[in-house]
Structure 1
Amino acid sequence: MTTVVKAINVHKKFNGQEVLKGVDLEVSDGEVLCILGPSGGGKSTLLRCLNHLETLDDGVVWIDGSIIGYELRDGVLRELPPRKVRQQQREIGMVFQHFNLFPHMTALQNVIEGPMTVRKESRASVTARATELLTAVGLGDRGGAYPSQLSGGQKQRVAIARSLAMNPKVMLFDEPTSALDPELVGEVLDVMRKLAASGTTMIVVTHEIAFARDVADRVAIMVDGTIREIGPPSEVLANPQDPRVRSFLTRVLN
């Protein structure tokens, strides 16, 4: 299968503390990878390095064959100017914990803003696609609503539709249900299940073990800035080999 995401020896420090300690990762076209692990293990930082929201201290990331955030000149990786980085980031969908919708725009306006402003697509074509996307996430009748009129689960579903409107090569989800009330989690996970079934390439940082078990092609467990185990959920979740992984899963599964 075609590799869409590849990370080699990714390191990242904050204030002298090493958060990522040489992470290697490959994700294939259409694959769903769920990243689990204790808080502070580097999961969200890894996502932010994949789309260059954080610069790397060492290592390299490719998405769809392109080095993200850097170019190779004379055998040396040099950081790209911000304009070129933004062009690359258009191809990478990102769904955050806290939605980040524009409060002064309706749900429909939030979804069409990126393709119109960044890709210079026509309002008519973008509006048609945005309406289809809102319908797909169960909000076909809420396009005229403002974020203040939506529940947390509805806001997150608008955020997913907004990312999909850019036709990304890969979708990154950073704990997309952690800010939601428990009764709203299911509606967001249902949308993500449909995305997975449609063949969307997804990397999902989550604490939702049941979702990872049911939907992921592979699960990665991150502890202390490294991926300790990676493989099918049936193997990693049921029979972990690493002691730190066993300790983590014992706590969250019992």
Structure 2
Amino acid sequence: MNEVQPLVRARNVQKSYGDNEVLKGVDLDVMSGEVVVILGPSGSGKSTFLRCINHLEELNAGSIMVSDSQPGYVLKKGRLQRLPPRKIARQRQKIGMVFQQFNLYPHMTVLQNIIEAPIGVHKVPREEATRYAKELLATVGLSDKADAWPGNLSGGQQQRVAIARALAIRPELMLFDEPTSALDPELVGEVLAIMRNLADQGLTMIVVTHEIGFAREAADRVVFMDGGVVVEQGPPGEVLVNPQHPRFQTFLSRFI
């Protein structure tokens, strides 16, 4: 019987900026359909690790496989070779990412923001891209905002557009890097509701967040990082209720 392989396989992932060693050997598997929430204090390496998965940051050592490839590279004759930027962009079609800041193009309408990558990078016909973009806007509750400018939307609405834009490439994996940290408190709930809906649909998600409630309700597994390593992980009903590591206990005590 063949063993099911993880969708994401990170092994001994290391990343430094000069003398600052941010990731010190991260190992993590994420299965297809799993929702993994990464918690940890500021500076623990959470966001850097997420950016390494998508090859927005280059590893100093180790490897990250997404499905059957290592983002940023191609295997030729037993050796990894760096891909040029255009091919990396095509390779990233497997991975959608939502950032802290919404990063919408201010000179494009909501609809134009969503269809830009499918048409420009992935060569999806405009009619097909537009049809799917409108479906996604309905999914995130913004059907009436297709022709709006990002500057005329609330922060919560902009982040929901950013989620729709990330989904427009039909990714296998969605990465969320503290997607509610730039929002006013009253707008956080509307974004988390969309994310819970995506989790319920079985989309594979890795979420860096400080929203303990989301981790408790939507995660299949919670990972706690500190000092550039994975310190503890497990089902939310276990690790959030009875954390074993003192650093995780101290971290969670701030939210009680």
TM-score by length of 2: 0.96
2:39, 2:223 within 8 Å by CA — same for their partners in 1?
A: yes
CA distances 1:9-28 after superposition (whole Å, capped 9, x unpaired): 00000121110010001111
Deviations 1:58-114 (A, max 9, x none): 000111111222234555433222222222112210000111001011111111111
One-letter code of the match for 1:187? E
Whether 2:163 is the aligned partner of 1:169: answer no
Please state how far the C-alpha of 1:225 moved relative to its aligned partner. Answer: 0.3
CA-based RMSD: 1.2
Residue in 1 that maps onto 2:250: 247
Q: Match for residue 129 of structure 2?
A: 126
Give 4+ residue runs of structure 1 displaced > 4 Å after superposition. 73-76
Q: Match for 1:228 among 226, 231, 242?
A: 231
Equivalent residue runs for 1:44-193 within 5 Å: 44-73=47-76, 75-193=78-196
Aligned to 1:206: 209
Q: Do the aligned residues in 1 keep the contact of 2:90 with 2:122 (CA within 8 Å)? A: no
Structure 2: 5+ residue stretches without partners: none
Partner of 1:6: 9
Q: Which residue of 1 aligns with 2:25?
A: 22
Partner of 1:34: 37
Q: Deviations over 1:185-219 (max 9, x none)?
A: 00000000000001110000000000000000000
Structure 1: distance between partners of 2:71 and 2:109: 32
SS at match of 2:143: coil
Q: Which runs of 5+ in 1 are unaligned?
A: none
Q: Output the CA distance in 2 between the equivalents of 1:196 and 1:176.
A: 15
- Encode CA deviations 1:128-161: one digit per residue, 9 max, x unaligned: 1100100100001111100011000000000000
Q: Which amino acid aligns with 2:99?
A: F
Question: Number of residue pairs matched?
Answer: 253
Q: Which amino acid aligns with 1:56?
A: L
Structure 1 position 250, deviation (Å): 1.3
Determine the C-alpha separation between the residues in 1 that align with 2:73 and 2:134: 35
2:89/2:121 contact within 8 Å kept:
no
Distance in 2 (alpha carbons) for counterparts of 1:34 and 1:184? 20
Q: Does 1:216 align with 2:246?
A: no
Q: Deviations over 1:198-248 (max 9, x none)?
A: 111000000000000000000000000001011100111111111111111
- How far apart in 1 are the matches of 2:233 and 2:221? 7
